[in-house]
Copies of this chain bind each other. A is one copy, B any other.
Amino acid sequence: MPGKHHWFVPDGYLPADSSHGVPSHEAACLLNVGDCDARVRFTFYFEDRDPLGPIELILEARRTRHVRLDNANAIGGLELPRATPYAYAVESDVPIVVQHSRLDTSAGAYTLFTTVAYGE
């Protein structure tokens, strides 16, 4: 099955402000092209305190999931602080692919960024 078991995203940041009624947010976009459901664990790292997690979710076989990191319901009830640098690691029991994206609406126009995470 294609993909990796471990993925890492150093640049996490949920902007404090929003506009257009669209909250500034980040998403961890997961893809499981295999035939088995994936058990996926997120751990969140900070600059000046111990990591939070792991929180666990199931990513079904042949499905994508765009996990909203500003939505506590999407990540096991964990409320990530806004305006605070963080990072995260994703561990999966079957190979998956992870891409990280941010939408910042704070300055009255949208700006997006994305990168495939670092996997191994």
Q: With an 8 A cutoff between CB atoms, is A30 at the interface?
A: yes
Q: By DSSP majority rule, is chain A's interface helix, strand, loop, or mixed? A: strand
Q: With an 8 A cutoff between CB atoms, is A42 at the interface?
A: no
Count A interface residues, CB 8 Å: 54
- How long is the Cα–Cα vector from A13 to B112 in the complex, in angstroms? 12
CB-nearest residue of chain B relative to A6?
Answer: B2
**Residue pair A116, B113 in contact (C-beta under 8 Å):** no
Known: A46-B63, A107-B110. 14 other contacts (CB 8 A): A2-B89, A10-B30, A10-B98, A10-B116, A13-B66, A29-B87, A33-B89, A47-B64, A66-B85, A99-B115, A108-B109, A109-B109, A110-B111, A116-B116
